[in-house]
Amino acid sequence: MLMAVDRRRKMLGYLRRVNYDTFENTCKQLDIQYSPPQPYTRRVTKRWLVKKAFCIKVFEEKQKLKAAVRLRQRRERQARARAAREQQEKQVQEKQTQEGTPV
């Protein structure tokens, strides 16, 4: 009997996800009041808390390392952009001087 009830529960859950109208009609015809299962909650243990704290520390350290690399990359990009801008300005000035002198 428990197996049959469990199978019916699983089928109703599937029907609820796939076709809600049919699910409602089925529940109405069978006079069933469906209640969704309780959400899973983790039991908080000391081991789990320590593991979580350790994972958070590792994540923060990794972020610090990434931040240093990202900062270096950003400075390199800015330096390249500055050099390109200066070169472009230099070319513009050269063009102006060439156009300004009569031939």
Q: How does pLDDT run across 93-103, given as a tens digit for each residue?
A: 888 888 765 55
Q: Are residues 10 and 34 in the same domain?
A: yes
Look up tokens 């156009």; give the residue. 99
Tell me which residue range forms the domain holding 3.
Answer: 1-41
Q: Are residues 51 and 37 in the same domain?
A: no
Q: Are residues 50 and 90 in the same domain?
A: yes
Higher pLDDT, 80 or 100: 80
What pTM does this model have?
A: 0.39
Q: What is the pLDDT of residue 40?
A: 78
Q: Are residues 70 and 55 in the same domain?
A: yes
At 28, which amino acid appears? K
Q: Are residues 48 and 69 in the same domain?
A: yes
For the chain, how many structural domains are there in total?
2
Rg of the Cα trace of the chain?
Answer: 34
Q: What is the pLDDT of residue 100?
A: 67
Q: Are residues 52 and 83 in the same domain?
A: yes
Higher pLDDT, 55 or 13: 55
pLDDT, tens digit, for every residue of 50-77? 999 999 999 999 999 999 899 999 999 9
Comparing CA positions, the residue from 59, 57, 17 lying closest to residue 36 is 17
